[in-house]
Amino acid sequence: MTDLQTIKARFGIIGRSDLLDRALGTAVRVSGTDLTVLIVGESGVGKEVFSKIIHALSTRKHENFIAINCGAIPAGTINSELFGHEKGSFTGATSDRKGYFETVSGGTIFLDEIAEMPLDTQAFLLRVLESGEFMRVGSSTVLKTDVRVIAATNVDLEERVRKGKFREDLFYRLSTVPIKVPSLKERRDDIPMLFRKFTLDFAERYRTDPIQLDDMALNLLVNYHWPGNVRELKNLAEQISVLSEKRQVTGEELLHFIPQIAHRHLPMVPDPSSQNGGQFQEREILYKLLFEMKADLNDLKNLVFGLIRRNDLSVPDYKGLEPPAASYEEQVLPSVSPAKKIPGIFSGHDMGSVKPILLDQDEADYQKSEEVEDNLSLEEMEKDLIERALKKHGGRRKDAAQDLGISERTLYRKIKQYLLQ
Ligand SMILES: Nc1ncnc2c1ncn2[C@@H]1O[C@H](COP(=O)(O)OP(=O)(O)O)[C@@H](O)[C@H]1O
Ligand SMILES: [Mg+2]
């Protein structure tokens, strides 16, 4: 078997991550067979590139390869495009026409966005896959073809099956060999290398010197969540190569090209298909920030109190300390938690075994009621956030957990705690 390095070099595949290697390894292994392949992965991860590699390494390499985007062909014409039609079978069918399954016989058809394929077309596709048989639209003559199908999707096909939008039998038929192409955020280590490769390519194309990034710019690049994956990174590299006056680009300058890069990998990031867009997302981001700050703060408090207790320290000025969580809430989310100035330093939850040893009775009571209120509002927010994440991902805990930046186990615990689902 040809080794992966050679294949990467030949097809311009950049990356060293195990996930990428595993996906590519599977692609190489199945290329020599006629098996149907289902490539899954987010938009822009390289699904189409993979399909071309599989074809190019197969025995069909000298035959046709055609890529069809099922989501881009109107439902009314897709059957005719794929299987052809007879003259007079519908208005506008002025002559017989061959479809791709006829013209590409011997070769490979890449069916992109397979989830968008209408149900009747799915039935015809299943038949071709099982027996090589199909009929042109408007004809009852059964024709034979020999086409290898590679399908791709960036949505959860099983979910489509559950919703009755995708045939279960076709799903199983297609997923004989599934290949998951990893997203860019699953292989962050590859980002600098990809960017360098693209800037070198564009420098050559536009006859300039390649762009160089300073540390902050590189850091932003590596930590961004890249919803458009390699395609987005490539576009950015091109944009900077063409538009930047300087060849040395700082983090600050990078922000001008792609302001959202500062968001890093926060959950509930802009989803272009969501209608209630901006305002909504901003709140999600603020929620997440707040939770992160709260968690940091609690860690810090536990540390400080641990130190105080263990070393038996006296802290004379404790009464003057402001509870940072409350002031943040005040600044960031005034409507969510009615913020108060709280005397004492115990405003957070999760204080564990640490007791408010330094407070007098009044303050202790005050602090206790605040703590309950504080916990309640935070729990409400957390519950809300989890509900949204679950809804956004159609109840898929794995995806929701990833989006929230917590483990599946923690999510499971929280769901039980809040009696969600
Ligand atoms: N590993 C990779 N190394 C270099 N370029 C890549 C890689 N993966 C994808 N690309 C490039 O990214 C762009 C998007 O790839 P494409 O296959 O169209 O993604 P998808 O079909 O998943 O939306 C293309 O320009 C492709 O050449
Ligand atoms: Mg694509």
**CB 151 less than 6 A from any atom of ligand 1:** no
pLDDT tens-digit readout, 125-144: 999 999 999 999 999 999 99
pLDDT tens-digit readout, 298-314: 777 777 777 777 777 77
- Cα(244)–Cα(250) distance, integer angstroms: 11
Residues 85/91, Cβ–Cβ less than 8 Å = no
Q: Please state the atom number of ligand 1 nearest to the C-alpha of residue 43.
A: 23
Output the CA 53–ligand 2 centroid distance in Å: 14
Name the residue at shortest CA distance from atom 24 of ligand 1.
231
Output the CA 389–ligand 2 centroid distance in Å: 26
pTM above 0.75, yes or no: no
**CB 46 less than 6 A from any atom of ligand 1:** yes
pLDDT tens-digit readout, 177-226: 999 999 999 999 999 999 999 999 999 999 999 999 999 999 999 999 99
Dihedral angle of Cα 254, 255, 257, 258, to the nearest 10 degrees: 120
Q: Please state the atom number of ligand 1 nearest to the C-alpha of residue 46.
A: 17
Torsions phi, psi for 63 (to 5 deg): -95, 180
Output the CA 230–ligand 1 centroid distance in Å: 6
Can you tell me the mean pLDDT for 266-286?
52
Residues 290/329, Cβ–Cβ less than 8 Å = yes
Count the helix, strand and coil residues of the chain and give each as a percent rounded to the nearest 5: 55, 10, 35
Residues with CB under 5 A from ligand 2 (ion): 48
Among 127, 123, 125, residue whose Cα is nearest residue 111: 125
Q: What domains are there in the chain, each with its CATH number?
A: 4-182 (3.40.50.300), 187-263 (1.10.8.60), 277-417 (no CATH)
Q: Ligand 1, residues 21, 43, 49: which to mutate, most atoms within 8 A of Cβ?
A: 49
Name the residue at shortest CA distance from atom 13 of ligand 1.
231
pLDDT tens-digit readout, 73-115: 998 899 999 999 999 888 888 899 999 999 999 999 999 999 9
Q: What pLDDT is recorded for position 305? A: 72
* Residue 316: other Cβ atoms inside 10 A: 7
**CB 49 less than 6 A from any atom of ligand 1:** yes
Q: Ligand 1, residues 50, 230, 235, 236: which to mutate, most atoms within 8 A of Cβ?
A: 230
**CB 47 less than 6 A from any atom of ligand 1:** yes
Ligand nearest to the CA of 45: 1
